[in-house]
Structure 1
Amino acid sequence: MPFARLTSATTPTCHLGLGLAAVGRPGYINLGRERDLPPDRSVDALRERTHQLLDAAYAQGVRYVDVARSYGRSEEFLAEWLAARPDAADLVVGSKWGYTYTADWTTDAERHEVKDHGLATYERQRAETAALLGDRLDLHQIHSVTPDSPALTDRKLHARLAEAAAEGVTVGFSTSGPAQADAIRAALAVTVDGEPLFRTVQSTYNLLETSAAPALEEAHDAGLTVIVKEGVANGRLAGPDAPKALKAVAEETSYGCDAVALAVILCRPWAGVVLSGAATVTQLASNLHAAAVDLDAEQLARLEALAEEPGAYWERRGRLPWH
């Protein structure tokens, strides 16, 4: 598995990764986006911002980067950075297929992305990713699997994914929605020729949405690398939008709310990589402080009390505007 390189890393931030969803396209649902990005959200401006973040992340020990076909030009921006940084050969790269970006570089599109887990979409997007990232692609994931996804039952698709795995690409899946645990357990049961197909799982888990934890622990115990996304809940656990209990613990530790929220995830023994979705270098530096946050049992208990009912969490997330 490519993530073996992370386990041998010596930097304290080796288990923190950088996701490029927030900077690979002009529109996204993160809170505070009007503060994080300049009015100029041209391709060139976001390319420069992405490269600045990659420079800063790599310099501070981050060795995993997450992109996707639906994250605008994230794969393109990353590919350009990799071509200019031959010293970054140890960077592990993961991408995702299953959503097509449809916003045409605008923030007010009627639909920003279209989901399709069919074999034809896989073939098209795998070719598109290969054209940009080539042999730098370590991990290829199905994007946002839910219990009703045809990707869980399509044997022809499974065979093609197994072929990719035989060629050296790690095959994984990500999940979203209130039934993440069901999707994870269904994916764990998918086999090809008697062998488990998936080697990684990427799921939403944070102080507000903890429902996937038991299934993620099962996945870890089954040998999968667990990647955690949306650790600050699209900005709800960062800055002025953070809950009072989180702000109090952050003040006690002298770190930011975002760092404390990510530190809680790092405490979970099943969490292999925890993603930062930073849109600025300053945010990234604050996120990476999570590796240094030391929480006691009483502080953890106060923070764990913030968990919401999954349906309510995802209903609120679904109402966040693209901006």
Structure 2
Amino acid sequence: MSLRFFLGTASFQSSDAFSALDAYFDAGGRDIDTARVYGKSEEVIGAWMTERGNAGEVRLLTKGAHPDNDTWASRLSASEVRSDARESLDLLGVDRVDGYLLHRDDPSRPVEDIAETLTALVVDGIAARIGVSNWGAARVAALVEALGRIDGPPLTWVSNYFGLAAASGTPEWAGVETARSELFALAHELDFTLLAWSPQSSGYFAGRDDAGGGAFDSAENRRRREILERIAREHSVSSVAVLARWLVTTDSRLVPVLGSTRPAHLAELVAATTSESLDAAVASLEAELGAATRDPGAWTESLAAR
């Protein structure tokens, strides 16, 4: 059975995560999301694949060129991208990754430069496919055009925030991008996949009001959570299950990145994402929340006023 979500591994920092990786793999999951900026995540995944001997069966997607954590200076030069990519390959213990994404945009850097850098990763055999993370729709469209002008590879992935909760714009979220309705339209038009990071809104719908550094705790998001919880009760299922099923059915171009270090929680996510019996609850959720289920930031202006 193939699973329609990537396993998120930002919290995988030791061999204790092997049991979660095993649970995902044994359930049929093969797509693993990581990044050079995720601490020891790549190293842990590499050690797990070596121990299990399954590197050839796993599809790895990693990200690099994250801005400097101290100065927030951009790191999108060709040399910086290549250095991060090579380090990722070494830590993962592979010769090539299935997908390589640039972690943040720098609007001051011409898309032509970025297109050439991404193309070189494919030409040199570092990555089979390319993508970007936290890019707005206009820049994505410009990058696709630039790749076309140089006969570069297609843009396969755009990874932005997408979840039922709208982020409130706290400093922790400065510089990140939400997948809005215009990006969904572009994904269908230009044939790329939207990878939704933090689609469970950092545990906000599991009751964590401090999720994302408090970025989700607003009157509107509390209302959304109350509706989700009521619908879950009416259908005798968990809120987590309804949320997970909604995420894998909301749009054919959307693939969520779901993560947990607990095998039991992963089992719940696997069951929910593959269960058509949850579709009635999802339909109720969409009927009540309307635009918010397709564009979490639809009411951003009203959030600021509350």
Correspondences of 1:86-235 after superposition (within 5 Å): 86-87=53-54, 89-99=56-66, 111=70, 116-133=75-92, 134-145=94-105, 148=107, 150=109, 153-155=111-113, 157-166=114-123, 167=125, 169-175=128-134, 180-191=136-147, 192-195=149-152, 197-209=154-166, 212-235=180-203
Could you tell me how far 1:301 is from its partner in structure 2?
1.8
User: What is the Cα-based RMSD across aligned positions, in Å?
Assistant: 3.0
Identity %: 22
Q: How many Å separate the matches in 2 of 1:101 and 1:277?
A: 25
Contact 1:265–1:271 under 8 Å retained in 2: no
Q: How many Å separate the matches in 1 of 2:283 and 2:49?
A: 41
The answer on 1:21 being equivalent to 2:10 is: yes
Residue 29 of structure 2, aligned match among 59, 62, 69: 62
- Kindly tell me: are residues 81 and 136 of structure 1, through their superposed partners in 2, closer, same or farther at Cα, counting changes over 3 Å? farther
- 3-state SS in 2 of match to 1:189: helix
- Kindly tell me: are residues 198 and 259 of structure 1, through their superposed partners in 2, closer, same or farther at Cα, counting changes over 3 Å? same
- Kindly tell me: are residues 153 and 290 of structure 1, through their superposed partners in 2, closer, same or farther at Cα, counting changes over 3 Å? same
Unaligned runs of 5+ in 2: 167-177, 210-221
Deviations 1:268-320 (A, max 9, x none): 333353210223223322222232132353332224465445757999xxxxx
- Kindly tell me: are residues 127 and 313 of structure 1, through their superposed partners in 2, closer, same or farther at Cα, counting changes over 3 Å? farther
Could you tell me how far 1:99 is from its partner in structure 2?
1.6
Q: How many Å separate the matches in 1 of 2:268 and 2:60?
A: 22
Contact 1:190–1:197 under 8 Å retained in 2: no
Q: How many Å separate the matches in 2 of 1:126 and 1:220?
A: 28
- Kindly tell me: are residues 83 and 123 of structure 1, through their superposed partners in 2, closer, same or farther at Cα, counting changes over 3 Å? same
Question: What amino acid sits opposite 2:86 in the alignment?
Answer: A
Could you tell me how far 1:138 is from its partner in structure 2?
1.0
Name 1:237's counterpart in structure 2. Answer: 205
Could you tell me how far 1:197 is from its partner in structure 2?
4.6
- Kindly tell me: are residues 181 and 128 of structure 1, through their superposed partners in 2, closer, same or farther at Cα, counting changes over 3 Å? same
Choose between structure 1 and 2: higher helix proportion.
2
- 3-state SS in 2 of match to 1:138: strand
- 3-state SS in 1 of match to 2:155: coil
- 3-state SS in 2 of match to 1:99: coil
Question: What amino acid sits opposite 1:125 in the alignment?
Answer: D
Deviations 1:235-258 (A, max 9, x none): 112246571001112223333222
Q: How many Å separate the matches in 2 of 1:69 and 1:278?
A: 19
Q: How many Å separate the matches in 2 of 1:277 and 1:285?
A: 11
For these two proteins, the number of residue pairs brought into alignment is 268
Unaligned runs of 5+ in 1: 1-9, 25-46, 103-110, 316-323
- 3-state SS in 2 of match to 1:265: helix
Question: What amino acid sits opposite 1:90 in the alignment?
Answer: E
- Kindly tell me: are residues 211 and 95 of structure 1, through their superposed partners in 2, closer, same or farther at Cα, counting changes over 3 Å? closer
The answer on 1:268 being equivalent to 2:236 is: no
- Kindly tell me: are residues 217 and 59 of structure 1, through their superposed partners in 2, closer, same or farther at Cα, counting changes over 3 Å? farther
Contact 1:158–1:197 under 8 Å retained in 2: no
Q: How many Å separate the matches in 2 of 1:234 and 1:298?
A: 23
Question: What amino acid sits opposite 2:206 in the alignment?
Answer: A
